[in-house]
Structure 1
Amino acid sequence: MTHPRRVVVKMERLKDELLVQFTFIVTNMSLSPKNITKLYFNRGTMENYIKEGKFGFAFGKMTSTEFERNACKLQIAIIAYNRHSGFKRLCLPDAMNTKLIDTVRLQIIKIAGKIVRSGRYLRFKLSSHSLYKRVNGNID
């Protein structure tokens, strides 16, 4: 190593846990240890958002060689990401707020079924492989 480095160690013990968790950050910044950990943890959170965009909304898949088409596709994907983020914050319970788009798609949005009208009743018929098939006894 040709440049001096600082090692910042964050120790935390979660509630009802016996062991202490250590986080090591090696840096050349001269900020206070509290500000360094805050900066790096915020950076890690942002990288998780980027990863969700890449894998859940195909931010990184540009299929055309034309800049304008790729820019338009990326903007549409970002709009979809923002709509999903707003949906999570406004409509989902707190337990689902931290879920990735794939989980939300599988658990909420992607439910195969159809509505069948018979007489004066409407019936919602689920796929035979649906997870929610037996949630309510009167659903076929």
Structure 2
Amino acid sequence: MAFIYRRVVRLADTDAAGVVYFSRILEMCHEAYEAALADAGIDIGEMLRNGAVLLPIVRAEADYLQPLTYGQDLIISLRPQSIDETEFALSYEVTFLPARLAVRAQTRHVCVHSRQKWRMSLPESLARWLLRAAAESSL
């Protein structure tokens, strides 16, 4: 089951032609990711303040199927997927009402130690979140 995040396109999201600027879509997807973590009870801020764990994006891609414009109500659905013990992917679909698919996007994240910069296992809370998502998607 996907996590659903709702958002309205703001003026700051658009370019001079009134269309959402391409990089803003990935920022909106990242907002959905943060909301999904909070909904799951994962305090990403605590992980960052703790200082040992970083979760950088190592790959981002998006397919733009329809333009998005100021004032549109967006629904961003997010599906997390575990890749291995150090890496995960997030798939997004951005639709606007009435149910028109506008963007498909994906980001890949790697867990690294903040000081040594080597890969490390995902924090337990994040690994559990990914396991729950896998179990729900197989239903």
TM-score in terms of structure 1 length: 0.26
Higher CA-based Rg: 1
TM-score in terms of structure 2 length: 0.26
Structure with more helix by fraction: 1
Structure with more strand by fraction: 2
Question: Highest relative contact order (Cα 8 Å, sep 6+), 1 or 2?
Answer: 2
